[in-house]
Homo-oligomer: A and B are copies of this chain.
Amino acid sequence: MDYMLGVDIGTTSTKAVLYDMKGKVIAYANAGYKLYQDVPDMAEEDPDDILDAVVAVMGQTIQKSKAQPTDIKGVSFSCAMHSLILMDQADQPLTRAITWADNRAAKYSEELKNNGLGAEIYAKTGTPIHPMAPLSKILWLRNEKPELFKQAKKFIDLKTYIFFRLFGVYKMDYSIASATGMFNIFNLDWEPQALDLLQISREQLPKLVEPTAQITGIDPKFGNLLGISANTPFIFGASDGVLSNLGVNAIDPGVVAVTIGTSGAVRVVVDKPVVDPDGKLFCYALTKDKWVVGGPVNNGGIVFRWVKDQLFAPERITAEQMQVSTYDILTQIAEKIPAGSDGLLFHPYLGGERAPIWDAYARGSFFGLTRKHTRAHMVRAALEGIVYNLYVVMLTIEKITGKPKSIQATGGFARSSLWRQLLADIFEQPVTIPESFESSCLGAAVLGMYALGYVDDLSEVKDMIGVTHVHQPNEQNFEVYRELLPIWIRLSEVLEPEYKEIAEFQKRHSD
């Protein structure tokens, strides 16, 4: 049998899925690791924990599948974006992996935005100026941890680290590179203006390779452990975001991938790199001629979780006794409220926001409350608010890519039919929920198949995934949302200047 192993190194866990060349799942494994948050705004992980997890899930998948070593035709990788590890002269990590969620570089990304340099660099790199990006993080380290900065031989990411441990080379694919804030997406090379700003040299960064690039000769220590031959090609792969577009078959023009998991994102594939005049969208590489334009949103399902835990705490017990998910109870409650929540509007910025407003100070709000409104209205307004916000990201993307034609939607929210319908009604687009297990793993595997010639075109992914639900926009509902959206958007603009002061109050008074 011919198998392809897809590995997705995520923020909370690494997943491995073994597929046959038709995309059928043969075996699966998953291993989590610890997030370090010793000080405020820190979000780090131990790179060796992650190496252990990667090796473990690869081993488990292969073992569970009972595949022969020769059945594994390749291993292909997906990885979370924006991580940064400093390596010393002896190729040992000087830092943990500082993840995208780490906010300590906020002051420096602010500075870059204010002094105009940020806009110049964004226009070449396509990575929004934000503490998440290695660009900001390195600037922060140079200023606030100069001793570490000086010792650094290399600035790498998590996937580069894993490949370094497995193959002894520092190589980074264009896709991960395109999310560092230091990579020129138009000439596919490190951007000198960024390196000058950071005072680092090209030599301190990994060598760049295409996402389809392969490498063989795994360190025998790991090869033996895994039962994999040294000839097995490892494909460098790409970032989890762009591979998830591939994994849900949202790679054709006009097909939008909308994800609402803990956070959320809206992403569209285009054939050339493009940037947003306002610097609010990312443009990350999938391959040299497929680029993913989109916006990442902090406040996705995590907001629904907050509604569940904080506004519906008493209902948790009921749900436990009924042995159903509290989310299902809440969804059912929200369904009874008319579209538009009787004019209650919610801005979901409980934890600051990236796209569409890129404002770490942003905070949540309910607006339009009357005595008629109940907690049930609050749930529905919260779900609607999360989707309005994603829709505003879509409106920004549209300006560059044109009107969408359909939506492929994924993430935990897709479990709720109400939420799927909301997406169709607010976006006024047909919404399809693909049946795609671990879409970033599948994306990695399909990229691997393509790299190794098992498929001729990435679009063959369409035969590998099923469809679980399709929702059409409901005219009665979208007419209501058409009335509310302009109010919601104007309110966003009106509230924006007010966020900073309350956020600073909260910071001053938090313990």
Chain A interface residues toward B at CB < 8 A = 302, 306, 310-311, 313-315, 338, 340, 342-343, 345, 349-351, 363-375, 480, 483-484, 487, 490-491, 494-495, 497-498, 501-503, 505-506, 509-510
Contacts A365-B368, A501-B487 hold; do A340 and B509 have CB atoms under 8 A apart? yes
Shortest CB distance A170–B (Å)? 38
Contacts A370-B350, A375-B310, A494-B498 hold; do A505 and B340 have CB atoms under 8 A apart? yes
Determine whether the beta carbon of B369 is less than 8 Å from that of A363: yes
Chain B residues near A480 (CB-CB < 8 A):
509
Chain B residues near A490 (CB-CB < 8 A):
498
Cα distance A494–B490 when bound, in Å?
A: 11
- With both beta carbons as reference points, the residue of chain B lying nearest to A366 in the complex is identified as B366
Determine whether the beta carbon of B311 is less than 8 Å from that of A375: yes
Determine whether the beta carbon of A371 is less than 8 Å from that of B506: no
- With both beta carbons as reference points, the residue of chain B lying nearest to A311 in the complex is identified as B375
Taking a contact as CB atoms closer than 8 A, the residue among B315, B342, B364, B375 that contacts A370 in the complex is B364
Shortest CB distance A211–B (Å)? 35
Determine whether the beta carbon of B502 is less than 8 Å from that of A345: yes
Determine whether the beta carbon of A495 is less than 8 Å from that of B367: yes
A-B residue pairs in contact (CB < 8 Å), sample of 25: A302-B371, A310-B371, A310-B374, A311-B375, A314-B314, A314-B315, A340-B509, A343-B363, A343-B502, A343-B505, A350-B371, A363-B368, A364-B370, A365-B368, A366-B366, A368-B503, A368-B506, A370-B506, A480-B509, A483-B505, A484-B505, A487-B505, A491-B498, A494-B494, A494-B497
Contacts A310-B374, A371-B302, A506-B342 hold; do A365 and B363 have CB atoms under 8 A apart? no
Chain B residues near A365 (CB-CB < 8 A):
365-369
- Beyond the given A310-B375, A338-B509, A364-B370, could you list 7 further A-B residue pairs with CB under 8 A, ordered by the A residue number? A313-B374, A342-B510, A349-B369, A351-B370, A351-B371, A364-B366, A368-B503
- With both beta carbons as reference points, the residue of chain B lying nearest to A488 in the complex is identified as B502
Cα distance A403–B302 when bound, in Å?
A: 47
Shortest CB distance A341–B (Å)? 10
Contacts A370-B351, A370-B506 hold; do A375 and B313 have CB atoms under 8 A apart? yes
Chain B residues near A370 (CB-CB < 8 A):
350-351, 363-364, 506
Taking a contact as CB atoms closer than 8 A, the residue among B315, B338, B364, B372 that contacts A369 in the complex is B364
Cα distance A295–B159 when bound, in Å?
A: 65
- With both beta carbons as reference points, the residue of chain B lying nearest to A483 in the complex is identified as B505
Chain B residues near A369 (CB-CB < 8 A):
349-350, 363-366
Cα distance A505–B306 when bound, in Å?
A: 28
Shortest CB distance A231–B (Å)? 49
Chain B residues near A498 (CB-CB < 8 A):
367, 487, 490-491, 494
- With both beta carbons as reference points, the residue of chain B lying nearest to A345 in the complex is identified as B502
Contacts A340-B509, A502-B345, A505-B343 hold; do A367 and B371 have CB atoms under 8 A apart? no
Cα distance A335–B351 when bound, in Å?
A: 25
Chain B residues near A373 (CB-CB < 8 A):
310
Cα distance A497–B493 when bound, in Å?
A: 13
Determine whether the beta carbon of B374 is less than 8 Å from that of A502: no
Chain B residues near A510 (CB-CB < 8 A):
342, 372
